[in-house]
Amino acid sequence: MTTFTRRNGMLHADEVALPDIASAVGTPCYVYSRRHFEAQYQRLRAALNGLDAEICYAVKANSNLAVLRVFAALGAGFDIVSGGELQRVISAGGDPARVVFSGVGKSAEEIDFALKMGIARFNVESAPELERIAARAQLLSRRAAIAIRVNPDVDARTHPYISTGLKSNKFGVPLDQAQALYRRAADSQWLEVHGVACHIGSQITSPAPLLQAFDSLLTLCDDLAAQGIELQHIDMGGGLGVHYHDEPEFDADAYGRSLATRLDGRRLRLALEPGRFLVANGGALLTRIEYLKPAAAAGGHSFAVVDAGMNDLIRPALYQAWHDVQPVAPPAPDAHSGRWQIVGPVCESADFLAHDRELSIAPGDLLAVLGAGAYGMAQSSNYNSRSRPAEVLVEGSRFHVIRRRETILDQLRLELEEA
């Protein structure tokens, strides 16, 4: 998928030249391609062809309302992890009946909200959570549909911070405790047992660990069926990796085929909760170089100080994530060639977007940080009292602002206003 490409040397998002966006909206600014989101969704749909499968977009990856609208229009369901994300889905016109609610810490208030909105199901992560959901359902006189998220103790072979399927991670119910919990759920008149879920991690580059987890879940389904508890679906979570640098592209078709083989002859629905796969490479963070600080002495570092920082895109600082950084325009004759550290204005040494990039650049140049469509804006903050970037959605040859740039007043309002 080639969303950010050069035309006459100038970097474009689909048909829109990135400098046009920078002039209209300013920097830093997130730029997304609707076409890319749609193509990735269709690609995954095609990979699941022939399977009874639902795709629930993981809202946490990029929760802008306009992005949610794109996926709602494609017919996606949604995976949420908070009441706030449920409100976003509703505000975007998404159907609560297509929402699954994951996460280890659902509050009573969030459970009530979800029950009242009639979500599809809760992915339950512990015994006390199951009790709480049953109690809230009873109080509201509604039955709650549930799946139990099991922790299959599978190594997803990804960064430790985004690995979730090991015994040592806080997520899910250990496999050996799951059956007892299902029996408890099946006994409750307030709970409807629908399925089983897992999510073993993120940015997984091969289907192998996912299939290993899937096999454990199938065995659990069989064991439960023998006890009279028939599950209707398996939710495999998200985790499908994308190409940022030198990692292999996740083979979605092979994943789909392997799932189909395993599901053949079974009356089980499949659900997936992809986030990154659908949006990561459809987004770029557009930033402008404020200053160059060439190395004062041999062996020192040369810094390009840009107007986006770790508060705008924290992935490099938090996960040592590698994002491609491309100059938007061809180098000017007076550009400085060298090996640059791309750093932001935040007062932290961890405030970098990229290390050791060979670039020919000058102050005032625009840079595009690619692969920023997932967990970019969604993980941004106001650290250093920096106002968060604008977001722009490109639709072919047109673009529009889907979130205006924050102002300092936006930040101060909560502290200035009377309670």
Query: Which residues here bind ligand LLP, judged by CB under 6 A?
Result: 58, 61, 79, 102, 162, 199, 202-203, 237-240, 273-277, 315, 319, 375, 379
Smallest separation (angstroms) from ligand LLP to the CB of 224: 21
Nearer to ligand LLP, 238 or 309 (CB): 238
Closest CA to 316 of 282, 359, 349, 272: 349
Q: Which of 29, 56, 221, 347 is catalytic?
A: 347
Rounded alpha-carbon distances, angstroms, from residue 278 to 80, 149, 192: 15, 23, 31
Nearer to ligand LLP, 188 or 281 (CB): 281
Cβ(86)–Cβ(294) below 8 Å: no
Q: 225-241: b or e for each residue (b if 16 or more CB lie within 10 Å)?
A: eeeeeebbbbbbbbbbb
Rounded to whole angstroms, the Cα distance separating 28 from 290 reads: 11
Tell me how far apart the terminal alpha carbons of the chain are, to the nearest angstrom. Answer: 49
Smallest separation (angstroms) from ligand LLP to the CB of 84: 15
Nearer to ligand LLP, 188 or 202 (CB): 202
Smallest separation (angstroms) from ligand LLP to the CB of 59: 9
Tokens of 38: 């749609």
Rounded to whole angstroms, the Cα distance separating 176 from 196 reads: 14
Smallest separation (angstroms) from ligand LLP to the CB of 325: 17
Query: Tokens 């986006």 sit at which residue?
Result: 308
Nearer to ligand LLP, 102 or 188 (CB): 102
Residue nearest to ligand LLP according to CB distances in the complex: 238
Nearer to ligand LLP, 61 or 259 (CB): 61
Is 56 designated active site?
Answer: no
Peptide bond into 207 cis (omega under 30): no
Cβ(152)–Cβ(177) below 8 Å: no
Rounded to whole angstroms, the Cα distance separating 80 from 210 reads: 21
Rounded to whole angstroms, the Cα distance separating 396 from 399 reads: 8
Smallest separation (angstroms) from ligand LLP to the CB of 393: 20
Smallest separation (angstroms) from ligand LLP to the CB of 342: 18
* Phi-psi group of 76: left, alpha or beta (phi > 0 → left; psi -120 to 50 → alpha; rest → beta): beta
Tokens of 333: 């004759």
Rounded to whole angstroms, the Cα distance separating 65 from 81 reads: 16
Smallest separation (angstroms) from ligand LLP to the CB of 381: 13
Tokens of 209: 């660990």
Nearer to ligand LLP, 88 or 315 (CB): 315
Cβ(362)–Cβ(334) below 8 Å: yes
Smallest separation (angstroms) from ligand LLP to the CB of 80: 9
Rounded to whole angstroms, the Cα distance separating 272 from 45 reads: 11
Strands (E), 247-406: 269-272, 283-293, 302-306, 325-327, 336-343, 352-361, 366-370, 390-395, 398-403
Nearer to ligand LLP, 375 or 399 (CB): 375
Nearer to ligand LLP, 303 or 319 (CB): 319
Active site residues: 347
